[in-house]
Amino acid sequence: MKPKTINISYWIFTILFCAAMLMDGIAGLMRVQDGKEGLAHLGYPEYLLSIVGIAKVLGVLAILQTKFKVIKEWAYAGFTINFIGASLSHLFVGDSIGMFFMPLVVLAFMFASYYLWKQKESLV
């Protein structure tokens, strides 16, 4: 891919991913009813919404910043753990295969952002 294509693709995937995570993080901090019901269904306590919400907002900030590469790596790792945990939680409570795969689809989207970031970094 051309450097310009890599850069544009990176920002498209990253902005869309970060927007989704920021909205989800804020919804968690607001403890919206759907989030409460979802966590109760999975057997998790309600206060986990606040913990994960804060982590998602901080993760978005870490991914969007351009100065500290290690912090960005850790944010991608944290989101990876979050999505794998979400998929397995749905599997363990007997949810449908669609519920199992949804977090993995978001994870694939995030991996596209990560891969393109690494491609972009190798051009510098």
- The pLDDT averaged over each successive group of 10 residues in the chain (124 residues) is 94 98 97 95 97 98 97 98 98 96 97 97 86
Nearest to 79 by CA among 102, 55, 100: 55
Nearest to 35 by CA among 48, 22, 21, 18: 48
Q: Are 48 and 29 in contact (CB under 8 A)?
A: no
What is d(CA 21, CA 76) in angstroms, rounded to the nearest whole number? 12
What is the model's pLDDT at position 66? 93
DSSP class of residue 32 equals -
Whole-structure pTM value: 0.93
Residues shown for the chain: 124
What is the model's pLDDT at position 1? 84
What is the model's pLDDT at position 123? 86
Which phi and psi (to 5°) does residue 2 adopt?
-75, 150
